[in-house]
Amino acid sequence: MDWLTLSDEEWTAIRLSLKVSGVAMIASLPLGILIAYLLARGKFWGKSILNGVVHLPLILPPVVTGFLLLILFGRRGPIGAFLYEHFGISFSFRWTGAALACAVMAFPLMVRSIRLSIEAVDRKLEEAAGTLGANPAFVFLTVTLPLMLPGIIAGMVLSFAKAMGEFGATITFVSNIPGETQTLSSAIYTFTQVPGGDAGAMRLTIVAIVISFAALLASEFLAHIIGRRVHLE
Amino acid sequence: MTLTVTAKQKLGDFSLDAGFTSERGVTALFGRSGSGKTSLVRIIAGLSKPDEGRIVLDGDVLADTEKRIFVPKHRRRFGYVFQEARLFPHLTVRQNLLYGRWFAPKNTPGESFGHVVDLLGIGALLDRRPGRLSGGEKQRVAIGRALLSSPRLLLMDEPLAALDDERKAEILPYLERLRDEMNIPIVYVSHSVPEVARLADRVVMMRDGRVDAIGTPSQVLSGPSLSASDRREAGSVLSGTVERVDEHYRLATIRLSQATIKVPDAHVAPGHRVRLHIPERDVMIATARPEGLSALNTLEGRIASIEPDGEGTIRINIDCGGDIVLSRITAFSGERLGLHPGMAVFAVIKTVALER
């Protein structure tokens, strides 16, 4: 059973991957809800352009997305330089950069899922809440948001799973530095590049399967609990 | 309480141009579907904006297109009961009921939770979720939810239309208690003659987006503005008091101004104030007291007026000791009997419905 024991480096890659995916998922959630809401309900000029931009990472080669991130968010890039000067936030060759790459790559999936759930919310219920005295913000928090919760959870799981598997954009943007930017996927890739790395690749593959499966089960469970509350009518 | 409404709105081919003033009690907006009742009540609630118009409740201007005033729906404090209950599926019945409480002004006492729950008979449902309720139960909860938001005015948009007759019969008594026990003016939208006859103090009859007639239920529901299908149900609405109840034959005797009427299978107790609806097609006229008839009620009266409708029937207003009973017969029968105003006749009433 020796070959099943994970080395320290492998543990580091696993922990890093969980951290990167978790942060990517949580940090992009508020923006995801906002964009999904705008796309579902908004009427404004350039809506189809916004929709296109959000979906770009889904259709572009991941390497292209990674390279664009490098140009924009690198230390010398226009956005990267600004963030570093004013907030001290740096993305280049840091785990934060990996999280950014994962978030961008997973964003279309999250937005799609949330958008569908917003479109499924019965606006008549919001109208009813309004006649009971609730202002629009309160209606959103107490009626719209709870009713779209299944879609939000599905979006979060999709985003997390996509982030766990992200490879191309991450390695292009922040490289493959053990302990800093070497995620599970990059670690597996590294193992396959060296002689005798098959066992390590296999161990991490099993871990990846277990994590993805656990995320899926957790989301099914949550959706079941919430669905039981929401979809009775 | 005085509600004044004027509104113009164009929606595609349909144009609404209506207005009315209502005092306390139940004002029914009555008319066929497509006559603009719902559009008008949505404008009152602030769910849609009129192109032109003014809505004032007791001097408080809620909308005035000329002065560019539009109070949004959540600041009007008008309760709204929709045709479909629109309960929040993710909340329990109790949470649904209390939803409006969060926004009700703290200094007004409002209706107590217990009272509303008792009034609507929903105490056993409090911990359930809306998905597990029957249509009638949902609608009762929706009414309670609107009441508990301490509304200044209750708008009800065909609250019974989506229910079958049995459910309607289940809810109507609650609506009557609501009218009699709560001090909230109600605007009640309906296309059903029996509902309006039973509930309304005042009827605003609408047709094609315009107001056709305004008056008491007996004036409007017996008036010429009713459509052919409604006319079948048209008739007189009389109020009276239950004098006694015969348990054996299950007959209640109702005292009108002077005459009495027997009503079968009525669940009432002596002393109750009740309303009777007598369809005008179910009243026959005899010039001599008829004998050997199965009809329970034969009232003696005098013809007050005769109105021909130009379609071969005439409507006769019979003054039976202060109550006007309407009868619709063919013009042919009228001539054959030689009916004329002032003539003493007997009104043979075939059916009478009690509208408690």
Residue B242 and residue B210 share a domain:
no
In a domain, B261, yes or no: yes
Residue B297 and residue B174 share a domain:
no
In a domain, B111, yes or no: yes
Residue B320 and residue B203 share a domain:
no
Using one digit for the tens of pLDDT, what is the confidence trace for B290-306? 888 888 888 888 998 88
Contact: A133, B82; criterion CB under 8 Å: no
The residue among B172, B235, B176, B234 whose CA lies nearest residue B201 is: B176
pLDDT on residue B167: 77
Q: Chain centroid to CA B264: how far?
A: 23
Residue B356 has pLDDT above 70, yes or no: no
Residue B245 has pLDDT above 90, yes or no: no
Q: Which of B103, B130, B146 sits opposite A233 (nearest CB)?
A: B130
Rounded to two decimals, the ipTM of the complex is 0.81
Contact: B47, A131; criterion CB under 8 Å: yes
Using one digit for the tens of pLDDT, what is the confidence trace for B304-323? 888 877 678 888 888 888 88
By the CB < 8 Å criterion, does B146 face chain A? Answer: yes
By the CB < 8 Å criterion, does A129 face chain B? Answer: yes
Q: Report CA-CA distances (Å) from B234 to A152, B224, B327, B345.
A: 55, 10, 10, 21
Q: Report CA-CA distances (Å) from B296 to B99, B165, B299, B300, B347.
A: 51, 26, 10, 13, 11
Which of B173, B200, B226 is where one domain is finished?
B226
Q: How many domains does chain B have?
A: 2
The residue among B325, B170, B41 whose CA lies nearest residue A131 is: B41
Which of B194, B226, B258 is where one domain is finished?
B226
pLDDT on residue B207: 87
Residue B52 has pLDDT above 80, yes or no: yes
By the CB < 8 Å criterion, does B105 face chain A? Answer: no
Range of lowest pLDDT (A211-220, A222-231, B92-101, B333-342):
A222-231
CATH number at residue A214: 1.10.3720.10
Residue B228 has pLDDT above 70, yes or no: no
| Percentage of chain B modeled with pLDDT above 70 | 94
pLDDT on residue B322: 81
Q: Is A118:A38 a contact under the CB 8 Å cutoff?
A: no
Residue B248 and residue B202 share a domain:
no
Contact: B47, A132; criterion CB under 8 Å: no
Residue B91 and residue B32 share a domain:
yes
Q: Which of A133, A143, A231 sits opposite B74 (nearest CB)?
A: A133
CATH number at residue B347: 2.40.50.100
Nearest CA in chain A to B153: A131
Residue A233 has pLDDT above 60, yes or no: no
Residue B176 and residue B260 share a domain:
no
Q: Is B80:B43 a contact under the CB 8 Å cutoff?
A: no
Using one digit for the tens of pLDDT, what is the confidence trace for B161-211? 877 777 787 788 888 888 888 788 899 999 888 788 888 888 999 988 888
Q: Which of B90, B104, B129 sits opposite A133 (nearest CB)?
A: B104
Residue B13 has pLDDT above 90, yes or no: no
By the CB < 8 Å criterion, does B79 face chain A? Answer: yes
| Cα distance between residue B285 and residue B24, in whole Å | 38
Residue B219 has pLDDT above 80, yes or no: no
Q: What is the least distance, in Å, from the CA of A48 to any CA of chain B?
A: 28
Q: Which of A124, A131, A138 sits opposite B78 (nearest CB)?
A: A131
Q: Is B246:B283 a contact under the CB 8 Å cutoff?
A: no
pLDDT on residue A74: 86
What does the block give as tokens for B45? 């609630």
By the CB < 8 Å criterion, does A142 face chain B? Answer: yes
pLDDT confidence bin for B127, thresholds 50/70/90: very high
Using one digit for the tens of pLDDT, what is the confidence trace for B24-40? 789 999 988 888 899 99
- Give the mean pLDDT of B117-138: 89
Residue B198 and residue B320 share a domain:
no
| Cα distance between residue B76 and residue B206, in whole Å | 25
A90: three-class secondary structure by DSSP? coil
| Cα distance between residue A139 and residue B95, in whole Å | 14
pLDDT on residue A75: 82
pLDDT on residue B254: 87
Residue B167 and residue B41 share a domain:
yes
The residue among A157, A154, A163 whose CA lies nearest residue A17 is: A163
| Cα distance between residue B28 and residue B192, in whole Å | 10
| Cα distance between residue B102 and residue B108, in whole Å | 13
Residue B101 and residue B164 share a domain:
yes
Q: What is the least distance, in Å, from the CA of A36 to any CA of chain B?
A: 21
* Domain, as residue range, for A185: 2-230
pLDDT on residue A232: 44
Using one digit for the tens of pLDDT, what is the confidence trace for A66-106? 999 999 998 888 888 888 888 888 888 889 999 999 999 99
* Domain, as residue range, for B47: 3-226
| Cα distance between residue B282 and residue B348, in whole Å | 8
Residue B317 and residue B179 share a domain:
no
Residue B285 and residue B150 share a domain:
no
In a domain, B231, yes or no: no
Question: Which has more pLDDT, B136 or A114?
Answer: A114
Residue B219 and residue B98 share a domain:
yes
Residue A187 has pLDDT above 50, yes or no: yes
By the CB < 8 Å criterion, does A130 face chain B? Answer: yes
Q: How many domains does chain A have?
A: 1
pLDDT confidence bin for A225, thresholds 50/70/90: confident
Residue A231 has pLDDT above 60, yes or no: no
Nearest CA in chain A to B148: A132
